[in-house]
Amino acid sequence: MSTLRASTGTISRSFGNFSAQIEMGSGTLVERDMSLATMPTLTQDFDLQEETADINEIKINLSDITIKIFDGLSEGESLFSYIEALELSDTIQIQITTPAGTDYFISSKASCRYDWRARTVELTGQAALRFDVEVTGYSIADKTSNDGWVAPYDLIQKFLSTQGASPTIKIIGSYFDNYDVTDLNFAPIDDPKLLVLPSTSVTTYSQAKTTFLRLSVIESAMIGTMMGYAFYVRRNFNSTSDPDHYASIAGSNLKNFGVEFNQRSVRNIDYDFRFEDQTGQPVYTFSDVINSAGSQDLDIAYIAAGYKTVEYDTPLQEWIEVGVTADSALEIGSPNGITIIGSNAKDSYHNALGIESSYKVDFEIFGIQTLKPYEFIEFANDIHPTVNGKKVRPSYLEYDLQNDVVKGEGYIIG
């Protein structure tokens, strides 16, 4: 069997240039032209799945693609014939390029559907991260300090960079974005304690993935790769100081808009978030009765382990681990770090679970570049009293490239 690489070439659209490519099989490379029946649709559900049996389980959801291709390839060949020759365990790589960058997805024979009347093949795929596929090779070597430490911010950045071909990386609202490897390679002006990772604990892609996902849960960050962006954004982040972090949406931007009331019946909620280092376990706990007549009790506990608290030793001119009886880096300051992280997580999950507001917002926005997947929405005052002037974090997004429309739903964050 040959390796098929089929491409559309560059397609000019209202939002800019677009191209798509699929690759499958093994053996001699065969390159063919293909034609799209319709432009693809990209979706991502960022929040807890309401249909899951246990809503205490925090789930990470990644982006999906649906793409429909005409069966006929150049040289008179059939795309369906190539797919038919695959084993069920074989993968089909899908990549699409939009103005911000290239997204990669993985599909399989079982995720393909042939329409005889339309002579089309429809493929559905999921982000490469779900299949442990490194689009770009992972290495933390250039972000490791002279003393062998890795800053959490650099780990997030390096892992996101593996999820595409030079994706545009966005890290927004992370507690750890105020120090990186440059701070660990020079003597500090003051005497801080920093939370770091031993480079040996994040050497491999698998180790980095585990640490990255744990960080995203405990920092209440939505993560994803979509429309050329790879992002890690705290869910309750709502600052408008940087215009790149949000989209201003007026009535003229909306194709459709609606409000749906939440159906959850939460009685009590308990949080227990912990960072574990050599000094012990910095802990943030919170308990609240939401509705005494409710029927659901939530207990969300999560531990991020394997960290080290270090401080700079001036005589030795290096960063060293603090003693086991010393304060953790997350216990320093007023309020301290674990309070900031835990409070943000509590507020974020309250919002995502519909505890802070009785309704969520459905929307359709003209222009796929009007709202980027990492941005929140700030509504203007000409739409409806329920959302005028409100800030909304999308909990679901659908980029319809065929019709140049963004569909979604979201919850109030400010």
Q: Which residues of 227-238 are buried (b: 16+ CB within 10 A; e: fewer)?
A: bbbbbbbbbbbb
331 domain residue, yes or no: yes
Distance CA(196)–CA(147), nearest Å, equals 11
> 414 by DSSP, 3-state: which?
coil
300 domain residue, yes or no: yes
The answer for residues whose C-beta is within 8 angstroms of residue 186's C-beta and 6 or more apart is none
80 domain residue, yes or no: yes
29 domain residue, yes or no: yes
254 domain residue, yes or no: yes
- Upper half-sphere CA count for residue 180 (Cβ side, 13 Å): 13
Amino acid identity of residue 311, one-letter, is: E
> In which band, very low, low, confident or very high, does the pLDDT at 140 lie, cut at 50, 70 and 90?
very high
Q: Are residues 304 and 402 in the same domain?
A: no
Token pair 């103005």 in the structure block, residue:
99
Angle 105-108-111 (CA atoms, 0-180°, nearest 5)?
Answer: 95
Q: Are residues 9 and 48 in the same domain?
A: yes
Among candidates 32, 307, 337, which has minimal Cα distance to 174? 337
Return the number of other C-beta atoms located less than 10 Å from residue 8's C-beta: 17
- Look over the chain and give the mean of its residue pLDDT values, rounded to a whole number: 89
Q: Are residues 297 and 407 in the same domain?
A: no
Q: Are residues 61 and 118 in the same domain?
A: yes
Q: Are residues 245 and 371 in the same domain?
A: yes
> In which band, very low, low, confident or very high, does the pLDDT at 355 lie, cut at 50, 70 and 90?
confident
- Two tokens at 261? 């009331």
DSSP label at residue 351: H
Residue 200, pLDDT above cutoff 60: yes
pLDDT digits (tens, 9 = 90+) for 216-269: 988 989 998 899 999 999 999 999 999 999 999 999 999 999 998 876 677 788
Token pair 């900031």 in the structure block, residue:
340
171 domain residue, yes or no: no
Q: Are residues 115 and 17 in the same domain?
A: yes
Q: Are residues 257 and 393 in the same domain?
A: yes
In this prediction, residue 263 carries a pLDDT of: 64
Least confident segment among 100-114, 125-139, 201-215, 267-281 = 125-139
Residue 408, pLDDT above cutoff 90: yes
Q: Are 119 and 79 in contact (CB under 8 A)?
A: no
In this prediction, residue 79 carries a pLDDT of: 96
Q: Are residues 104 and 243 in the same domain?
A: no
pLDDT digits (tens, 9 = 90+) for 245-259: 999 999 999 999 999
In this prediction, residue 102 carries a pLDDT of: 87
For the chain, how long is the longest CA-to-CA vector?
A: 78
> In which band, very low, low, confident or very high, does the pLDDT at 56 lie, cut at 50, 70 and 90?
very low
- Upper half-sphere CA count for residue 72 (Cβ side, 13 Å): 4
Over range 68-96, report the average pLDDT: 94
Q: Are 179 and 150 in contact (CB under 8 A)?
A: no
In this prediction, residue 61 carries a pLDDT of: 64
Among candidates 316, 248, 305, which has minimal Cα distance to 282? 305
Give the containing element (helix H, strand E) for 120. Answer: strand 120-127
Residue 59, pLDDT above cutoff 90: no
Q: Are residues 287 and 375 in the same domain?
A: no
pTM confidence score: 0.90
Over range 148-167, report the average pLDDT: 92
pLDDT digits (tens, 9 = 90+) for 162-192: 887 778 999 999 999 999 999 999 999 888 8
**CATH number where 392 lies:** 2.40.30
Q: Are residues 90 and 27 in the same domain?
A: yes
In this prediction, residue 194 carries a pLDDT of: 95
> Of 350, 381, 402, which residue constitutes the final position of a domain?
350
Q: Are residues 295 and 329 in the same domain?
A: yes
181 domain residue, yes or no: no
Distance CA(93)–CA(21), nearest Å, equals 8
Residue 50, pLDDT above cutoff 80: no
Q: Are 235 and 345 in contact (CB under 8 A)?
A: no
185 domain residue, yes or no: no
> In which band, very low, low, confident or very high, does the pLDDT at 57 lie, cut at 50, 70 and 90?
very low
Structural domain including 105 reads: 3-131
Residue 93, pLDDT above cutoff 50: yes
Give the containing element (helix H, strand E) for 73. Answer: none
Q: How many domains does the chain have?
A: 3
Q: Are residues 255 and 375 in the same domain?
A: yes
Residue 51, pLDDT above cutoff 60: no
In this prediction, residue 105 carries a pLDDT of: 92
Among candidates 403, 43, 414, 411, which has minimal Cα distance to 255? 403
> Of 97, 131, 165, which residue constitutes the final position of a domain?
131
> In which band, very low, low, confident or very high, does the pLDDT at 47 lie, cut at 50, 70 and 90?
low
